[in-house]
């Protein structure tokens, strides 16, 4: 069983930065890819960034967010810079195996004030 625990969310002013962390149990190196999603109030969950063989970003965060992983700590990070109020959402960590099996964390709230 895989468990994902996010941390690092909080309240920040526009233009500020936050770093989210997602600590994973299980065999971290077996994950084909890990990623971050977010869900704003009244909106569907949307993909933000992913890391596998390479990194990919949604257009809305490209150039501002950076995803990385530390295999020695079983942790994936999302560095968020130049935050804007539209980034306000619950951020979820996702881990996916090669067979498509997917796991989610419980989410961490990010609030950006104007």
Predicted pLDDT of residue 71 = 86
Give me the DSSP letters along 26-76.
S-GGG-SEEEEEEE-TTS--EEEEEESSSEEE-TTTTTTEEEEEETTTTEE
71 within 8 A of 28, measured Cβ to Cβ: yes
Predicted pLDDT of residue 7 = 97
Check pLDDT > 90 for residue 46: yes
Predicted pLDDT of residue 93 = 97
Predicted pLDDT of residue 32 = 85
Check pLDDT > 90 for residue 85: yes
Task: Kindly report which listed range (19-33, 36-50, 99-113) carries the lowest average pLDDT score.
Answer: 19-33
Predicted pLDDT of residue 90 = 98
33 within 8 A of 96, measured Cβ to Cβ: yes
């Amino acid at each position: 069983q895989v468990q994902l625990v996010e941390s690092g969310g909080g309240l920040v002013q526009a233009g500020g930065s936050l770093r989210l962390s997602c600590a994973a149990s299980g065999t971290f190196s077996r994950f084909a890819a890990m990623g971050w999603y977010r869900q704003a109030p009244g909106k569907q969950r949307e993909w933000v960034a992913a890391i596998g063989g390479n990194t990919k970003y949604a257009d809305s965060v490209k150039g501002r967010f950076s995803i990385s992983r530390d295999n020695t700590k079983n942790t994936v990070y999302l560095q968020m810079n130049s935050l804007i109020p539209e980034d306000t959402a619950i951020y979820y960590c996702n881990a996916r195996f090669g067979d498509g099996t997917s796991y989610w964390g419980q989410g961490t709230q990010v609030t950006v004030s104007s």
